[in-house]
Amino acid sequence: MPAPDRYAVIGHPIAHSRSPQIHALFAQQTGQHISYEAIDIAPQELALRLREFFEAGGRGLNVTVPHKEAVLPLVGALSARVRTAGAANTILRQADGTLLADNTDGAGLVRDLTHNLAITVRAQRLLLLGAGGAARGILAPLLQLEPRELVIANRDVERALTLARAFAPAGPVRGCGLAQLQGPCFDLIINATAASLAAQLPPLPPSVLGAATICYDLAYADSDTRFTCWAREHGAAQAHMGLGMLVEQAAESFYLWRGVRPDTGPVLAALTARRGH
Ligand code: NDP
């Protein structure tokens, strides 16, 4: 049997990553002969280690914090999704040996929202909390779903305004500070801040949330995040965490690398079942 094709996720830190587990399940399900590991790379070693990985025959990488922007000057080509998002989460070695960076985060979120959770975005009022890398990566795919309005609210108001201006040609988007949020309530609130990672909650007026509001946190935890707790306590119709997005963005990367689309349902079910064990 030939050696497996080699893939990995790179980040710093990376030990917590669920990606090796997800891609192992995808490979098992689709019969693809691959290996997938987590590699911790400090920022100052990024260029060297990336080159070494591909020179040693590596076929593709997932890229996470803090390297999502730093990899862009290190590859040969950027997909349209990367140019829009300003960040990459996937690198593939193409047939001619050149490296292509892509971003599957937005596609992953949209697939989780619309396919797994059957949430309608079209003609709805959306509130996007945060204006960092993840917010930037999901804005264009969200606007393609034609919401009635998309409000970006961020702690640093200027970042929200800048992001809204950049995406204004793509749809009805405006920016504001968290303190400026006021009714009527939103149909869908997406938390793309990093607050949940520090067990914090962005300061939100309860008026943003009504009995029909659906809340989605890009972050995920074994039980609820602070944000999904807050959503439930204030009577949201639904509160979801981003594990589905993680699995869906991984599936999109797997498809780019292998040309085979895994069935994400059983993988998400297996990960959910394992939580807390
Ligand atoms: P960034 O560091 O690029 O951006 C952080 C954002 O969070 C900024 O808008 C920042 O506001 C805001 N923020 C941080 N702390 C607080 C706080 N205490 N209160 C209010 N706002 C806060 O991070 P990313 O965009 O890369 O990641 C954001 C989240 O998305 C993380 O939780 C990450 O795990 C998650 N994620 C999940 C994915 C998935 O597959 N499920 C994929 C990608 C990301 P300010 O500008 O004012 O500093």
Question: What is the pLDDT at residue 184?
Answer: 87
Q: How far apart are CA 68 and CA 51, in angstroms?
A: 16
Q: Which two tokens stand for residue 260?
A: 């085979």
What does the pLDDT look like over 169-214, one tens digit per residue?
A: 999 999 999 999 987 899 999 999 999 989 999 999 989 999 999 9
Q: Determine the pLDDT at residue 277.
A: 39
Q: Which residues line ligand 1 (CB under 6 A)?
A: 65, 105, 108, 130-135, 154-156, 159, 192-197, 200, 202, 218-219, 242, 245-246, 249
- Beta carbons of 163 and 119 less than 8 angstroms apart: no
Q: Is a pLDDT exceeding 90 seen at residue 113?
A: yes
The ligand 1 atom at the shortest distance from the C-alpha of residue 130 is 9
Q: Give the model confidence (pLDDT) of 31-43 as tens digits.
A: 999 999 999 999 9
CA–CA gap between residue 248 and residue 267 (Å, rounded): 10
With the most atoms of ligand 1 within 8 angstroms of its CB, the residue from 9, 112, 116, 155 to mutate is: 155
- What's the token pair of residue 275? 């939580």
- Is 50 exceeded by the pLDDT of residue 124? yes
Mutational test site, ligand 1, from 16, 200, 218, 227, max ligand atoms within 8 Å of CB: 218
pLDDT of residue 182: 83
Distance CA 129, CA 160 (A): 9
Q: Read off the pLDDT band of 275 (50, 70, 90).
A: low
Percent of the chain with pLDDT over 70: 99
Per-residue confidence band for 1, with pLDDT thresholds at 50, 70 and 90: confident
Cis check for the bond before 184: say yes or no (omega within 30 of 0).
yes
228: pLDDT strictly greater than 80: yes
User: Across the chain, which distance is largest between two alpha carbons, in Å?
Assistant: 62
Mean pLDDT computed over 71-89: 96
Question: Count of CB atoms within 10 A of residue 46's CB?
Answer: 18
Cα radius of gyration (the chain):
19
Catalogue the active-site residues.
68
Query: 106 φ, ψ to 5°?
Result: -65, -45
pLDDT at residue 274, as a whole number: 67
| Cα 146 from Cα 35, distance rounded (Å) | 39
What are the pLDDT digits (tens) for 47-59? 999 999 999 999 9
- Evaluate the CA torsion angle 249, 106, 269, 271 in order and state its sign: positive
Q: Are 38 and 15 in contact (CB under 8 A)?
A: yes
